[in-house]
Amino acid sequence: MKVLIIHGPNLNLLGKRDSSIYGEKTLEEINNLIKSRASQLDMEVEIFQSNHEGQIVDKIQDIVSKDYKGLIINPAAFTHYSIAIRDAIEILDVPVIEVHLSNIYKRENFRKESVIVPVCTGQISGLGYNGYLVAIDALKIIE
Ligand code: DQA
């Protein structure tokens, strides 16, 4: 089972962003944990990070042709306003899990709305990097 993980803008700077909100691990450290969790479950992962909305849309559009069986996406700031990412996800017929390191419902009002979650299977918010590992487990269970 092959799944795609997408990290949105500024997540390449984890480790330098406010660690009281986003934790201390770098994106590379988180990606290594994701890969080892996936291999324990006999899953294959491709991991992609971009600061550009259009590149994220292009990657989501690849899901059908590349036969990914699920998507885990942290759209970061795009969560709150990207209709283009929402529309790209809406076309998919694989499970999609939106992940946030922080609990977006405990933060500023502008972070409390996700325009993307209504077209996702589910959302994990506030578990730090463990949210990605729980999302991997969830894709395996609902496979
Ligand atoms: C985030 C929450 C977003 O509001 C923010 O813009 C991010 C990260 C999270 O993982 O908690 O960049 O998606």
- What domain count does the chain have? 1
Nearest CA residue ID for atom 3, ligand 1: 76
Cα atoms in the 13 Å half-sphere on the side-chain side of 46: 15
Written as tens digits, the pLDDT of the chain (143 aa) is: 999 999 999 999 999 999 999 999 999 999 999 999 999 999 999 999 999 999 999 999 999 899 999 999 999 999 999 999 999 999 999 999 999 999 999 999 999 999 999 999 999 999 999 999 999 999 999 97
Q: Is 112 exposed, middle or buried (0-12, 13-18, 19+ CB in 10 A)?
A: exposed
Read off the pTM. Answer: 0.98
E-strand stretches of 8-82: 44-49, 70-74
Cα atoms in the 13 Å half-sphere on the side-chain side of 108: 5
Asked if residue 7 belongs to a known ligand binding site, the reply is no
> Which residue from 73, 101, 115, 127 has its CB within 8 A of the most atoms of ligand 1, so it is best to mutate?
101
What per-residue confidence (pLDDT) applies to 143?
Answer: 79
Amino acid identity for residue 29 in this structure: E
Phi, psi of 15 (to 5 degrees): 105, -35
Nearest CA residue ID for atom 12, ligand 1: 76
Asked if residue 130 belongs to a known ligand binding site, the reply is no
Give catalytic status of residue 22 as yes or no.
yes
Nearest CA residue ID for atom 6, ligand 1: 77
Q: Measure the CA–CA gap between 39 and 33, rounded to whole angstroms.
A: 10
CATH number for the domain harbouring residue 48: 3.40.50.9100
9 CA to centre of ligand 1 in angstroms: 9
- Contacts (Cβ under 8 Å, ≥6 apart) of 27: 7, 11, 12, 13, 14, 15, 49
43 CA to centre of ligand 1 in angstroms: 26
- Domain of residue 135 covers 2-142
Q: Which is catalytic among the residues 7, 22, 68, 129?
A: 22
Q: Measure the CA–CA gap between 75 and 11, rounded to whole angstroms.
A: 9
Instruction: Judge contact between 98 and 8, C-beta under 8 A.
Output: no
